[in-house]
């Protein structure tokens, strides 16, 4: 199984599927269909049924039940797009067998060292797939895709493994927060689902951030600087004052675990107008609402001093903590936990400090925890994944479906 999942990841990683947050289409980039069409053919060839790919880039498929028991329909999901944070074009995956624990020469100029990336120490003796140092790898989430396809193929080839009806979904635009926006939960028809989109071995997540995006626009008046006294209003200066009113320590580089943050993503402008883009994240709903309220309080103060037209703050909620929707059916987390224990994997239950399609899907009526897919150092040139971890992720899928079947009536 390890060789199958590695071969798939390497093949998928070479297909450019980078998403684009500036695009208004779904999927945001047409090239995501390049991988989706490959996957559609592959799912049909390995024996899945009801394989459909719609115009928005949602690929669904079914592995029919082979048990007489009443068993919930379980879905497994992964996303085809890669992050726009770093280039996903012309990816050249490198395979390192029996990693010796030393520095990894990605190319003539770039080295990945366990001194800087101590997580490499967890993979001595394993097979690593890395970048060539010029692109990301795309294990987020092509590793998850490879794990799901490999598990489904194994189940087709081993009908002695009993399971209920299984559904597979490969989706677009997760990296830009739009993965579930046109996901047809009713058509998918699963009772519960799991995203194979986590990080290192053992990750199991059913809590996510509450999330919002904020766009701030400041407006000024441009006057020749030689005669500007008492007349000029500098939108850039207003924007800087606004940013300086944000909490100093509630930023990504100073937070971890359950600590929320306010993250300035971009800042650009000129004297007449400046624009700032933020994201707000917090697991606690009250603290999340307080962070949003702080933006509005600062907006009010700027308007009182410089006028109503001086600033506009637009806040848009993106998703909420999926724990609220998963706790009532916590048995789906318990089954994944048990599946890992059965495979001698130590489960690491921790909150998601990032986006996951499960957050939105859970509020759309499909409770969806997140399971490790194996990627490390994601969204950059130092990204890598272990073949052994990907194999174990496929095995977790197999164990989950058997545990659900064993509980059937």
Q: In Å, what is the CA distance from 108 to each residue of 104, 111, 132, 134, 271?
A: 11, 8, 10, 11, 44
Consult the annotation and say whether 181 binds a ligand.
no
CB 310 within 8 A of CB 274: no
For CATH 3.40.630.10, the residue range(s) in the chain are 1-207+321-407
Q: Supply the pLDDT for residue 355.
A: 67
Q: Supply the pLDDT for residue 89.
A: 95
- Tell me the β-bridge partners of 386: 128
Helix (H, G, I), strand (E, B) or coil at 407: coil
Q: Supply the pLDDT for residue 353.
A: 85
Q: Which of the residues are catalytic?
A: 81, 174
Consult the annotation and say whether 175 binds a ligand.
yes
Whole-prediction pTM value?
A: 0.88
Other C-beta atoms lying within 10 Å of the C-beta of residue 338 = 15
Consult the annotation and say whether 191 binds a ligand.
no
Consult the annotation and say whether 140 binds a ligand.
yes
Q: What is the mean pLDDT of each run of 10 residues along the chain (409 residues)?
A: 97 97 94 98 98 98 97 98 94 97 94 96 97 96 98 98 98 92 96 96 94 95 88 92 96 94 96 96 96 97 94 93 94 98 96 84 95 95 98 98 95
In the CATH hierarchy, which fold is given to the domain comprising 1-207+321-407? Answer: Aminopeptidase (3.40.630)
Look-up of token digits 């009182």: 304
Q: Supply the pLDDT for residue 305.
A: 92
For CATH 3.30.70.360, the residue range(s) in the chain are 210-319
Consult the annotation and say whether 263 binds a ligand.
no
Q: Supply the pLDDT for residue 141.
A: 94
CB 308 within 8 A of CB 217: no
Q: What is the pLDDT of residues 327-383, one digit of tens each?
A: 999 999 999 999 999 999 999 998 888 768 898 999 999 999 999 999 999 999 999
Class at the top of the CATH hierarchy for domain 210-319: alpha beta
Q: Supply the pLDDT for residue 177.
A: 84
Report DSSP state, residue 18.
Answer: B
Q: What is the pLDDT of residues 76-106, one digit of tens each?
A: 999 999 999 899 999 999 999 999 999 999 9
Q: Supply the pLDDT for residue 223.
A: 85
């Amino acid at each position: 199984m390890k060789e199958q999942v590695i071969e798939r990841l390497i093949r998928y990683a070479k297909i450019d599927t980078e998403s684009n947050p500036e695009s208004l289409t779904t999927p945001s980039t047409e090239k995501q269909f390049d991988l989706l069409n490959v996957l559609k053919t592959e799912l049909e060839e390995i024996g899945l049924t009801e394989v459909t790919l719609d115009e928005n880039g949602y690929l669904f498929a079914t592995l029919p039940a082979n048990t007489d028991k009443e068993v919930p329909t379980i879905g497994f999901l992964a996303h085809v797009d890669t992050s726009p944070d770093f280039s996903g074009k012309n990816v050249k995956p490198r395979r390192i067998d029996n990693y010796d624990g030393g520095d990894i020469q990605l190319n003539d100029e770039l080295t990945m060292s366990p001194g800087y990336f101590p997580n490499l120490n967890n993979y001595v003796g394993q097979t690593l797939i890395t970048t060539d140092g010029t692109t990301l790898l795309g294990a987020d989430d092509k590793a998850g895709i490879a794990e799901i396809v490999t598990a489904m193929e194994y189940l087709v080839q081993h009908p002695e493994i009993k399971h209920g009806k299984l559904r597979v979904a490969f989706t677009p635009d997760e990296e830009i927060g739009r993965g579930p926006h046109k996901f047809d939960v009713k058509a998918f028809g699963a009772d519960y689902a799991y995203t194979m989109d986590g990080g290192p071995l053992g990750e199991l997540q059913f809590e996510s951030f509450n999330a919002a995006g904020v766009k701030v626009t400041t407006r000024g008046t441009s006057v020749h600087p030689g005669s500007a006294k008492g007349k000029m209003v500098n939108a850039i200066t207003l924007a800087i004052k606004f940013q300086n009113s944000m909490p100093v320590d509630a930023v990504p580089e100073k937070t971890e675990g359950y600590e929320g943050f306010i993250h300035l993503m971009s800042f650009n402008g000129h004297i007449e107008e400046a624009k700032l883009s933020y994201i707000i994240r917090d697991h606690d709903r009250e603290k999340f609402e307080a962070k949003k309220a702080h933006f509005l309080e600062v907006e009010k103060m700027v308007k009182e001093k410089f006028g109503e037209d001086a600033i506009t703050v637009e806040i848009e909620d993106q998703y909420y903590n999926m724990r609220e929707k998963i706790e009532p059916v916590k048995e789906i987390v318990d089954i994944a936990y048990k599946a890992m224990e059965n495979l001698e994997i130590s489960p690491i239950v921790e909150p998601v400090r990032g986006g996951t399609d499960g957050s939105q899907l859970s509020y759309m009526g499909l409770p969806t925890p997140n399971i490790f897919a194996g990627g490390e150092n994601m969204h950059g040139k130092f990204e890598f994944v272990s073949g052994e971890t990907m194999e174990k992720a496929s095995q977790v899928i197999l164990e989950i479906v058997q545990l659900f079947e064993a509980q059937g009536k």
